Structure 1
Amino acid sequence: MGLTDYESKAYLSLASFISATALEVSETSGVPLSKVYEVLRSLAKKGFIEIQRGKPLKYAIVPPQDVFGKSRARIKEELEEAESEIKTIYDNQIPKSPPHIWLIYGTDKIITKELEIIGCAKDTLHIATGFMFHDEVENLTEHLSKALKKGVQTRIITAPCCITDGEEVEISENLKKLDCEVKTFQIPFIKVIIRDKKEMMLIFCRFKDGILISQTAIGVWNQYTEFVENIADLYNLVWTMNLPTKLQL
């Protein structure tokens, strides 16, 4: 919350007194008397305590819910500002840096990267998913809803459902609740997310007897723009085709 060690000790001391003199604060907090007046003035300036006039001066704690509420709002604002600044630097550097392909292991890390890609979308999202992990649909729909509110044009080709680790996961019915174009097609066990024709993520999993084994999941994060553009164009070509609801084997 931006307090020094002495300020923290003085504030905690006042929390037990509600109102006290500088001498009382010094004796109970361990802050030297030579420093305590300066520390209390700083706490007052930061809005943690109030100075009550009189002889001697008394210092009263501001109700903690007020202090923490303001601090929480300030910290949130500073974090959002820092995130925005760093994201701007990151986005500006991506075109200047050599493209990369990264392998990502583990469902948690894969889902985190998927949501990050969706959150960065400005113009378009192309998604094809033949499977989902448990609890992934809820996270995905939440972030897709935010992207749609920003005006991101979104197209989704999805399997009706899948069986992950022995449990059925409904996919199509949940994604159809989104305000975007959704086509249902029993596609293979693969997932692709393409953002703005600039980056994409391919996710693969092993499966046995039609059951997905989530612990084998591998994500391939690709920033080769030319390749991503070609895959996006291929996606749009497939989109215009009449897709049957089931594969004809």
Structure 2
Amino acid sequence: MPVNQKTINALKILGLTEYEIQAYIATMSLISATATEISLESKVPRSKIYIVLKSLSKKGFVEIINGKPLKFNVIPPNEVFEKSRSYIKEQLDEAENELNFIYQDQIPSVPAPIWLINGSEKNLKKEIEIISRAKESIFILEGLMFKDESRILKDNLEKAIKKGVHIRAIFNESYDEEDIIKEISKLNLEMKITHTPFIKLVIRDKKEMLITFCKIKENKPLPKTAMGIWNQYNEFVEMIYGIYNYIWSTELLKN
């Protein structure tokens, strides 16, 4: 039974060899069959079919039924892919955590840890990246928001809260009536709404910050003009952190 190249590529990602792919697809069309029948259907040589089918069994793609002769039942694709998806995600998460640890450990050692970030998409990615690294606190000033940002922000703030991160967030009063701000206000964080400049500020653990500016037209940000300054200079971050706290405590803010 022919399948398209994308499906074959997906099976390769799951760790199957060419012969294993041929045998699995053949078993799929037969549902339950002997090694000889699968060999004929798949064109896998009979001298190799038992090795291939045993490998597929170990990988969870077929089930071996004892008898004379042995029979091989195909495992339904939804079961195979669900297990494989979970395994791949687990491996990726472990790799991400380890590499992030190395990355975070090395950034402060860079002689001049200040970078310019152009464009709204890259700034949003950096904002979410910083939030994901937080261990103790996140302070946010959302004087501007880009398209589709609010829900992404809400989801990632919620993840941080679940890790025990303390969050303070200041939003521009122009967002006061938006549903997403009402949703964010339901999270376990400190939140205030006021008139703010059209800037975005994220401070993580008093160690790292991103401040983003962009041109404004008719009270709306122009995403292509967004320019972010990302840095980890402790003295500078602590100074901005102090300014943030001052803004937070002034009477100009309203709940």
TM-score (norm 2): 0.85
Q: Does 1:23 align with 2:42?
A: no
Contact persistence 1:137–1:174 (CA under 8 A): no
Secondary structure at the aligned position of 1:47 is classed as: coil
Of 50, 58, 64, 1:45 maps to 58
In 2: Cα distance, 1:175 partner to 1:152 partner: 15
Judging by fraction of residues, say which structure has more strand: 1
Q: 1:98 to 1:31 in 2, by over 3 A?
A: farther
Of 167, 186, 192, 1:154 maps to 167
In 2: Cα distance, 1:10 partner to 1:137 partner: 47
The RMSD of aligned alpha carbons is 2.2
In 1: Cα distance, 2:139 partner to 2:224 partner: 25
Q: Does 1:90 align with 2:103?
A: yes
Please state how far the C-alpha of 1:62 moved relative to its aligned partner.
2.1
Q: Does 1:199 align with 2:212?
A: no
The equivalent of 1:236 in structure 2 is 245
In 2: Cα distance, 1:4 partner to 1:200 partner: 46
CA offsets 1:170-190 (integer angstroms, 9 cap, x no match): 775454333222222211111
In 2: Cα distance, 1:171 partner to 1:28 partner: 55
Of 83, 87, 97, 1:74 maps to 87
Contact persistence 2:192–2:253 (CA under 8 A): no
The equivalent of 1:223 in structure 2 is 232
Contact persistence 2:34–2:71 (CA under 8 A): yes
Secondary structure at the aligned position of 1:215 is classed as: helix
Q: 1:177 to 1:50 in 2, by over 3 A?
A: closer
TM-score (norm 1): 0.87
In 1: Cα distance, 2:121 partner to 2:227 partner: 11
Secondary structure at the aligned position of 1:134 is classed as: coil
Contact persistence 2:108–2:232 (CA under 8 A): no
Aligned residues: 240
In 2: Cα distance, 1:158 partner to 1:83 partner: 31
Contact persistence 2:141–2:170 (CA under 8 A): yes
The equivalent of 1:189 in structure 2 is 198
Contact persistence 1:158–1:171 (CA under 8 A): no
Secondary structure at the aligned position of 1:56 is classed as: coil
Q: Does 1:14 align with 2:24?
A: no
Q: Does 1:210 align with 2:223?
A: no
Q: 1:34 to 1:188 in 2, by over 3 A?
A: same
Secondary structure at the aligned position of 1:103 is classed as: strand
Secondary structure at the aligned position of 1:188 is classed as: coil
